[in-house]
Amino acid sequence: MTLVVYFHGDNILLERAKAKRIAPEDLHRIYNIVEELKISSGLEETPSIYVIDDPALEAFSVGRDPKKSAIVMTYGLLTRLNRDELQGVIGHEIAHIKNRDVLLMTMCSVLLGSMIILSHYPSYMSWSQTVVTVQEPSKKQYSDRKNLRTAFTSIFLGWIVILALPFGSSVSLAFLIAFAILSLILTPLTVGILIGLPFAVLLIYYAISRKREYLADACAAVYTRYPEGLASALEKIASFTEQLQSATQATAPIYVANPFGKHGTERNKITDTHPPIMERIRILRLMTHISFADYNSAYKEVHGTHKTILPTYMLANADRIAMLAATADDVDYVQQVRETSAALWNASNYKTVTCACGTRLRLPPTYKQSEIQCPHCGRINPV
């Protein structure tokens, strides 16, 4: 599992999200932003750009190292955010790539998946149903009890073999009884570990995910020198209610914001994949100048704590830099929609037929006719 995810995890995530790779000439404005932030962050290579044809506002990054990385954004994000907001989101994702968060979270997800697989031998989750049932047992409940007895028996015998193995054929009856008693003690403990370990790993996975989100927010503020850009983008994401169709609970931690979160009512819980989005916005807007130390101070103020959230080495190099002013957006909403739609059509191998009247017709790869009639002027155009 580790080898497959390490070498092909990015392809699996991109395929699962139904993301299309976009050429630089099709989204030159977005590639320009990525190139700017690649320089300001010191990233070695420029990430590729992928787009998901979905109206939700989401983004994530993939790649086991900065030399093989990509930033994935939805159609909704590209068409609804202005330049400063897009810079904030892209800066956040570049920070994940530069800090190797993608690789870290991928390895954590493999560990979590392995623990869940181990815990499902056999179906321990039916234990609670078996214990609390007070009605007449059904065939399924009888099967659950049988599975539980089989699990205890197999683990019990396994412990006897493991404990007696070093002694070989010299094991006496007294020793065997002692091993059986010890195995009886160890068996419930083993079952408890198998049941509890996935939940423990899950909490660690979420805790790591939340901490890396704070770090990526701080880096995005430093890279862009404009914290309000990311804060405003998160505000739009929080107010947008439509969920990303391709998101799953397993992939939720990789997104810029929890794709299943009710952002208006969320609280900081240990089972959350992300910090509360409103809290992230407050921290960014409390920054008075650009430095990791200032972000850390804003975090302490919001949380009312003396604990730091950023690594010590980042706080040691905390130069004070003035914030940039907001930039005037160079395109309007209609232009953004046309540009992004055209990029998705090209990525999906759509054909373009331009009629003499100026109408541009987009034909899917499945269109097999040799000609098409213009819906505006009625001319017949060859394909």
Would you please indicate which residues are annotated as catalytic (active-site) residues? 93
The distance of Cα 160 from the centroid of its chain, to the nearest Å, equals 43
Q: What b-and-e string marks burial along 83-111, b requiring 16 or more CB atoms within 10 Å of the CB? A: bbbbbbbbbbbbbbbbbebbbebbebbbb
- Stretch (H or E) spanning 277: helix 277-286
DSSP assignment string, 31-85 = HHHHHHHHHHHT-SSPPEEEEE--SS--EEEEEEETTEEEEEEEHHHHHHS-HHH
DSSP assignment string, 201-249 = HHHHHHHHHHHHHHHHHHHHHHHHS-HHHHHHHHHHHHH--PPPTT--T
Secondary structure (3-state) at 137: coil
Token duo for residue 66: 């900065």
> Which residues, 6 or more positions from 98, have their beta carbon under 8 angstroms from its beta carbon?
41, 42, 43, 66, 219
Describe the crossing of helices 227-239 and 83-98 by its angle, rounded to 10 degrees.
100
Rounded to 5 degrees, what are φ and ψ at 258?
Answer: -60, 115
Can you tell me which residue has the tokens 């060859």? 382
Burial bucket for residue 192 (CB in 10 Å: 0-12, 13-18, 19+): exposed
Token duo for residue 267: 């609280």
Residue 213 in contact with residue 279, Cβ under 8 Å? no
In eight-state DSSP terms, residue 25 is T
